[in-house]
Amino acid sequence: MLVLGIESSCDETAAAVVNDKKEILSNVIYSQIAEHKSFGGVVPEIAARAHLEKIDIVVRKALSDAKVELSYLDAVAGTCGPGLIGGVIVGATFAKSLAMSSGLPFIAVNHIKAHALCPRLTNDVAFPYLLMLASGGHCQLCIVRDVDDFEVLGATIDDSVGEAFDKVAKLLELGYPGGPVIEKNAKLGNDAKFVLPHPMCVKNTMDFSFSGLKTAVKVAAEKCESEQDKIDLCAAFQKTVIEILRYKITQAIKHCLKEKIKISCVVMSGGVAANQAICKSLTNLCEEFHLNFVAPPIRLCTDNGAMIAWLGIEKYLSHEFDELNFAPRPRWPLN
């Protein structure tokens, strides 16, 4: 079985061909970092225009790299949300058009769900598992019982963790995207130089809040007198984020133990899963509970077509197809 996946929910135009043997035959990504860098964040109108300009090129290359023609495909899967609605419309419309013109089934994909299930493509993860979903727009803790069975244990009440990285990098004038530059600086910094708060880490809640941490970094930044101070602040910020994530995941694991939910492992997905310091710390935490920690390869942590194609395969095997009038949506809850 071959499925073409198309992704355009934010600032990556992506397409991939994946088969039911869990082989990624192609995975083409056009990143819009250059278009948005001078603004310090994603500009929705610019993102939509860039998707429109690149999507045909990206899809053609994905098919070429996979050495397949449209007639070889079994289905076309396209992101229909959540995300920046202009970009979502571009990708969804293109995917629908390909499906209609080729007489192929169309599968509407929730791209957050695709992140959540991506480790089943790369690591053969079994249900149920505990998921830490952390990206630029989302931050959730869930128990994933099946392709369409998510129990949300906690979510952010304000900023996502990825958004916090970007905003901290912007206020420190370090550039965009924030995650990689803060991780790079943190390796060179003294994480004990600044003491930062741990919002919502005292009541055993599994919800998140990062706006207060971001404000605390802003206050601390006003006291920075050198570039090394900024580097130390990056280290303190990253360390604090790690401690918050460890606290929340610990609460979630204890919840599973209390409720006798036998999770197969702990999974982290989304762009923040590319942060190796975070993954190393969470790996150590899971070992304390005799659990495996799983994160996709770095190339599949950010938005990509392979995860869309894989969820398309998962839905195809369950005979879940969608009509061509499926409406793109900016919001699309997991549950």
Q: Same domain, yes or no, for 133 and 281?
A: yes
pLDDT of 138 reads: 87
The total number of structural domains in the chain stands at 2
pLDDT band at residue 299, thresholds of 50, 70 and 90? Answer: very high
Contact 215, 251 (CB under 8 A): no
CA 275 – CA 305 distance, rounded (Å)? 21
Domain span including residue 209 = 127-295
- Residue 24: pLDDT over 90: yes
Pair of tokens at residue 137: 């727009």
Residue 42, domain member (yes or no): yes
Residues 6+ apart with CB under 8 A from 108: 77, 78, 80, 92, 322, 326
- Residue 335: pLDDT over 80: no
At 213-239, the pLDDT tens digits run: 999 999 999 999 999 999 999 999 999
CATH of the domain at 11: 3.30.420.40
Pair of tokens at residue 167: 């905003």
Contact 213, 199 (CB under 8 A): yes
Q: Is the peptide bond before 128 cis (omega within 30 degrees of 0)?
A: yes
Contact 89, 328 (CB under 8 A): yes
Residue 240, domain member (yes or no): yes
Q: Same domain, yes or no, for 57 and 190?
A: no
Q: Same domain, yes or no, for 91 and 134?
A: no
At 243-288, the pLDDT tens digits run: 999 999 999 999 999 999 999 999 999 999 999 999 999 999 999 9
Residue 263, domain member (yes or no): yes
CA 158 – CA 213 distance, rounded (Å)? 11
Residue 335, domain member (yes or no): no
pLDDT of 174 reads: 94
- Residue 79: pLDDT over 80: yes
Mean pLDDT of the chain: 96
Contact 81, 9 (CB under 8 A): yes
Cα–chain center distance at 123: 16
Q: Which amino acid is at 264?
A: S
pLDDT of 204 reads: 80
pLDDT band at residue 104, thresholds of 50, 70 and 90? Answer: very high
Cα–chain center distance at 129: 17
pTM of the model: 0.95
Q: Same domain, yes or no, for 187 and 265?
A: yes
- Residue 203: pLDDT over 90: no
At 127-139, the pLDDT tens digits run: 999 999 999 888 9
